[in-house]
Amino acid sequence: MAEKIRHHQSAPTEVSLGANETYFVRFADGDYDYGLLTACSEKYEELTRDGHNVSNVILSPGGLSGYVSSWLIRHT
């Protein structure tokens, strides 16, 4: 995962970091890389598969328990 980000040729345009090593990175060329909770990942894939343009994936840094308590996907 991080290896893909490190060697990507395009600049990151969005970075969202969550708890427990969750992350979402979008690059200037439209490519992306992520490590998301299952529910968030499934929703992201569903939206993009259905032709939606995802503009942001926002992750909660987590609470005292260290778990991601929420996430938000903005799309058109």
> pLDDT digit string (tens) for 29-73?
888 899 998 999 999 999 999 999 888 899 987 766 655 468 999
Range of the domain at 48: 2-75
Comparing C-alpha atoms, which of 10, 24, 17, 25 is closest to residue 61?
17
Whole-number Å distance between alpha carbons of 57 and 54 = 8
pLDDT reported for residue 10: 82
Number of domain units in the chain? 1
Q: What is the mean pLDDT of residues 7-16?
A: 82
- Does residue 1 carry a pLDDT above 70? no
- Between 21 and 50, the more confident residue is 50
Task: Give the per-residue pLDDT at 72.
Answer: 93
pTM: 0.77
